[in-house]
Amino acid sequence: MERADAAQRATELRERIHRHDYLYYTEARPEVSDAEYDALVRELRALEAEFPDLVTEDSPTQRVAGQPVDTFRPVEHRAAMLSLDNATTAEDLREFEARMRRVLPAADFHYVAEPKIDGLGVALLYERGRFVRGATRGDGRVGEDITANLKTIRSIPMILRGPLAASPDLEVRGEVFMPRAEFAQLNRTLEEAGEPTFANPRNAAAGAVRQKDAAVTARRPLDIFLYHLSAAEGVAFTSYWETLEAMREAGFKTNPRSERCADLDAVIAGCQRLEAERDALGYDADGVVVKVDSLERQRRLGATSHHPRWAIAFKFAARQATTQVEGIEVGVGKTGALTPVAKLTPVELAGVVIRNVSLHNEDEIRKKDVRVGDTVLIERAGDVIPYVVQVVESRRPGGTVPFAFPARCPACGHPTFRPPGEAYWRCMNSACPAQLKERLGHFGSRRTMDIEHLGDAAIEQLVDRGLVRDFADLYGLTVEQVAALERFAEKSAQNLIASIAASRGRGLARLLNALGIRLVGERVAGLLAARFGSVEHLKKASPEELAEVHGIGDEIAQSVVTFFADATNVAVLDRLEEHGVLVTDPEALEGPKPLAGKTFVLTGTLSSLTRDAARDLIMRRGGRVVGSVSKKTDYVVAGESPGGKVDDARRLGVPVLDEAAFVALTGRA
């Protein structure tokens, strides 16, 4: 191809890819399939490889580019990034308005209220519609240049559209965050890989944003909401609401929950509504930011050295409490990882009594220096499990000592070891009964083989008496053996044996999840079962064949291969099959896939099937189930007494199915 033609084609491809990025990441309404999108990117990469001088800074291929850096360059913000004054009650909000009245007595105030995102404030700079620099808030005056990291966030437009694109110099501010579902998934992956997890989405986002290597940031599921146009040379608006519309038109992602409020009563009602629905937002919000809508009034009100006078943050009730650490116990996980858990003086936190909190690993304990006897501040945010925010140093009693990891496994007495470069101390005894108990607990849990009556007490005794040494042994147990255990009568022994027998037909996906293969959780197990259809096929799969499956990377592929290369594992699977455990997924290969590519959210109670059965059905038919409703959701299935998810669906225009419509859609007879 001639250079001139290549240049023209490259420009065209860049524009199309940017547009598809926008539709997918900001609007959540893609117009092309993944395959079509990938083809465009491949073509652009090929062109740029042939004509390297055609590569532009804002090319979609440059989202992840450049070398890791040692330090971030400091950047001085054009105007200070101020913080916000706080309100915690409706009264505080009325005082906020009264203060403004004193400055502008004749004015009546209209507002915009929107979620206060619990993330990291950033400032993005655009010159003539092109993204040129992004910085952290820093101390408000000087931040750090994190352009390379921000470029990896696909909802940040590289090129603007509409009237804002013409501005020679434009700065927008917003909040980078990690959606809760993605955060949970990231932690599961980290945990399965034996790496330290993050305590909350904010910490995970903060770590990602300040990564020295942008390639790492690119693998972190970050998103952004923009909420402030701090400079826009040559463009003028009269209200914040209008500004938000222009920002949206330019391609920025703004919060769909922003609300225009005619007066303070509407603001207060809006704050209460958002607080009641905070868990359904899909991301952490710690309050509502209330802003005077008129930009002219904003200017006349001005700012103190700390915060603007025209805005205030209404803070949601804190979900924090303080309590004492009565002890630190060390548990042994499925893979032998030792996890320290703080035993707390029970304390109520947002309606739940908290007795234990994980201290994760040695580095976490050291960083926070949690000691037995300490008073700690704990927090429970959204559906995130509680964690220690910090030790209340002023209340530390005399004579405490830093926590030291045990040199021997608390369960089997084997020496413990912390492999270099890893976060966890481990019990190195593969026959450690505590590990086996954890693995059996996982094997029998509701989302895996769902063996009712196989509780901790039963597992404890079955392992301690040498009756169960691996998963397959479960299926050889007799009623007599179980009845001989403590606290088991004839009837309960029969129940356990019956539920073990009933678990044989759960199918391949659940079995694969149950086995506890490193990096293979529910999602990956589902993908493997759907693609390979049997243990037999999976056993023979090469790393390349495994990695070909959409959603399975090299590391997972390697882990699966390693698992099946171990003769002990294969022997257990053979014995499971001999006991009649279903090791295939007949439907996977032949069954109909009417739900392929569709995303579902389940809410309420269905009459003909349990939540788990509905979930399985969707996955078997090729669909996906997620926890909260977004524009990317295809259907919300609503049973009896559904929650706020139905309202979310209506607001976002997502179709809501009742049970009959859902069953019809799956094609289930």
- Name the residues that contact ligand IVH, by CB under 6 A: 81-84, 114, 116-117, 121, 175, 227-228, 289, 308, 311, 313
Least distance in angstroms from the C-beta of 241 to ligand IVH: 13
Nearest CA to 653 out of 625, 629, 626, 618 is that of 629
Structure tokens at 303: 């700012």
Helix 659-666 with 611-620: angle, nearest 10 deg: 30
Q: What are phi and psi of 511, to 5 degrees?
A: -60, -45
The closest residue (CB) to ligand IVH is 121
Least distance in angstroms from the C-beta of 81 to ligand IVH: 6
DSSP 401: -
Least distance in angstroms from the C-beta of 298 to ligand IVH: 9
Residue 17 CA: distances (Å) to CA of 39, 61, 219, 499: 10, 10, 19, 52
Q: Which is nearer to ligand IVH, 219 or 306 (CB)?
A: 306
Known catalytic residue: 116?
Answer: yes
Q: With beta carbons less than 8 A apart as the criterion, state whether 662 and 607 touch.
A: no
Least distance in angstroms from the C-beta of 251 to ligand IVH: 18
Over 169-191, what HEC string results? CEEEEEEEECCHHHHHHHHHHHH
Least distance in angstroms from the C-beta of 169 to ligand IVH: 18
Q: What are phi and psi of 434, to 5 degrees?
A: -65, -40
Q: What are phi and psi of 615, to 5 degrees?
A: -65, -45
Q: Which is nearer to ligand IVH, 8 or 83 (CB)?
A: 83
Q: Which is nearer to ligand IVH, 129 or 143 (CB)?
A: 143
Question: CB-based contacts of 545: which residues, under 8 Å, 6+ apart?
Answer: none
Nearest CA to 127 out of 170, 89, 156, 92 is that of 170
Q: Which is nearer to ligand IVH, 159 or 244 (CB)?
A: 244
Q: With beta carbons less than 8 A apart as the criterion, state whether 433 and 464 touch.
A: yes
Residue 506 CA: distances (Å) to CA of 42, 235, 581, 584, 616: 41, 62, 8, 10, 10
* Beta-bridge mates of residue 390: 377
CA gap 482, 498 in Å, rounded:
12
Least distance in angstroms from the C-beta of 311 to ligand IVH: 5
CA gap 23, 300 in Å, rounded:
38
Structure tokens at 336: 């032998």
Q: Which is nearer to ligand IVH, 177 or 403 (CB)?
A: 177
Q: Which is nearer to ligand IVH, 10 or 226 (CB)?
A: 226
Identify the active-site residue in 116, 253, 315, 334. Answer: 116
Q: Which is nearer to ligand IVH, 118 or 659 (CB)?
A: 118
Least distance in angstroms from the C-beta of 23 to ligand IVH: 24
Q: Catalytic positions, please?
A: 116
